[in-house]
């Protein structure tokens, strides 16, 4: 069974631009969660989507948004990029809701904002 895939793997943008990251979950998984990882901050939860509905949202500004499609694939969008948005963005999928179901992570998208 194919794992979680994320595209692109690396991305370089400049301040003020916007970016869209994509995540394809494991087949059959209905939950997709997004995390931001920065040095010293660990994994910061962005949001979780379950059956195309945002189920939970972390403490991030409205510039960070996401959506989930009927095939469970998910996209995350960051508008008006700031230098501090440079991070590794991880996507994770699970059969059921995150937190009580094992999450399977993708390799991440490394975003650099110049």
Binding site for another protein (CB under 8 A): 4, 33, 35, 40-45, 48, 55-56, 90, 92, 97-100, 102-108
Distance in angstroms (rounded) separating the CA atoms of residues 60 and 80: 14
Q: How far is the CB of 81 from another protein (least distance, A)?
A: 23
Reduced to 3 states (helix: H, G, I; strand: E, B; else coil), residue 96 is coil
Q: What are phi and psi of 84, to 5 degrees?
A: -70, -5
Our CB check for another protein shows the closer of 15 and 57 to be 57
Distance in angstroms (rounded) separating the CA atoms of residues 109 and 17: 17
Our CB check for another protein shows the closer of 13 and 55 to be 55
Sign of the C-alpha dihedral computed for residues 20, 21, 26 and 30 taken in this order = negative
Distance in angstroms (rounded) separating the CA atoms of residues 11 and 111: 5
Distance in angstroms (rounded) separating the CA atoms of residues 53 and 72: 10
Q: How far is the CB of 42 from another protein (least distance, A)?
A: 4
Our CB check for another protein shows the closer of 79 and 105 to be 105
Q: How far is the CB of 94 from another protein (least distance, A)?
A: 9
Our CB check for another protein shows the closer of 48 and 85 to be 48
Q: How far is the CB of 50 from another protein (least distance, A)?
A: 10
């Amino acid at each position: 069974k194919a794992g979680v895939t994320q595209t692109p793997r690396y991305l370089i943008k400049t301040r003020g631009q916007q970016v869209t990251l994509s995540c394809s979950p494991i087949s059959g998984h209905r939950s997709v969660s997004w995390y931001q990882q920065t040095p010293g901050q660990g994994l910061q939860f962005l949001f979780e989507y379950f059956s195309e509905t945002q189920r939970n949202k972390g403490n991030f500004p409205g510039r960070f948004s996401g959506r989930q499609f009927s095939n469970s694939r998910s996209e995350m969008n960051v508008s008006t990029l700031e230098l501090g948005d440079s991070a590794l963005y991880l996507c994770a999928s699970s059969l059921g809701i995150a937190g009580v179901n094992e999450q399977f992570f993708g390799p991440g998208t490394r975003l650099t904002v110049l």
